[in-house]
Amino acid sequence: MNKLSGKVAVITGASKSIGAAIAEHLAAEGAAVIVNFASSSSDADAVVARIAKSGGKAVAVQGNVSQPDDIKRLFSETKKAYGKLDILVNNAGVYEFAPLEAITPEHIRKHLDLNLAGLLLTTLEAVKLMGPQGGSIINIGSIVGPMPAPQASTYSASKAAVDAITVSLSQELGPRKIRVNSLNPGMVETDGLRASGLDGGTLRE
């Protein structure tokens, strides 16, 4: 029996790259997964199809997790599909590197609305579906949280906040049998990284 058999997992931002890989791995271990996506419906459907082809269970659910109403709908659809939740992976995020002179209020809000507020509000709704048996929450941070990079002050700050949230919530939710952990990947060659042009030059070095 696979070690996640009978478990239900929501992965935000799971239509491609890191999120898609996480969804497919959790499904391979037996979890029924919700493949959340903001706009890439065809990519999300492709992830679901790959999981189904491998004998797993998955459903794609649209929802921009920077929007509170979308977050509520995501977990309403999760309850409708599977009736419960055991695992949340807060993977959805945005990154835009910019020098100080190019930082705008919109740039700041974009990062904080998704990487910070979205993560917290998604966790809030997820916990409501976790029963007395508890569950697991995994927050995807970044190496630039503890090791900030040049021209990434806003993004680095938002990912440092992910680590702080993780520590705080692990203490708060631990007594309810809900584990909260974070992962801080280094550079991963995703579509977003290549599109930004950050996959070369001094950052790679």
- Give residue limits of the domains in the chain: 8-197
Q: Dihedral through CA 53, CA 57, CA 60, CA 66, nearest 10?
A: -130
Per-residue b or e along 150-160, where b marks 16 or more CB atoms closer than 10 Å to that residue's CB = ebbbbbbbbbb
Q: Dihedral through CA 195, CA 201, CA 204, CA 205, nearest 10?
A: 180
Contact status, residue 30 vs residue 9, Cβ threshold 8 Å: no
State the pLDDT at residue 194: 45
The one catalytic residue among 37, 82, 97, 155 = 155
Per CATH, is 8-197 categorized as 3.40.50.11540?
A: no
* pLDDT > 60? residue 81: yes
Query: How far is 122 from 178, CA to CA, in rounded Å?
Result: 15
Does residue 155 carry a catalytic annotation?
A: yes
Give residue-wise pLDDT tens across range 140-164: 999 998 888 899 999 999 999 999 9
Kindly report the CA angle at 29 between 123 and 184, in degrees rounded to 5? 45
State the pLDDT at residue 157: 95
* pLDDT > 80? residue 174: yes
pLDDT, mean over the chain: 92
Contact status, residue 97 vs residue 152, Cβ threshold 8 Å: yes
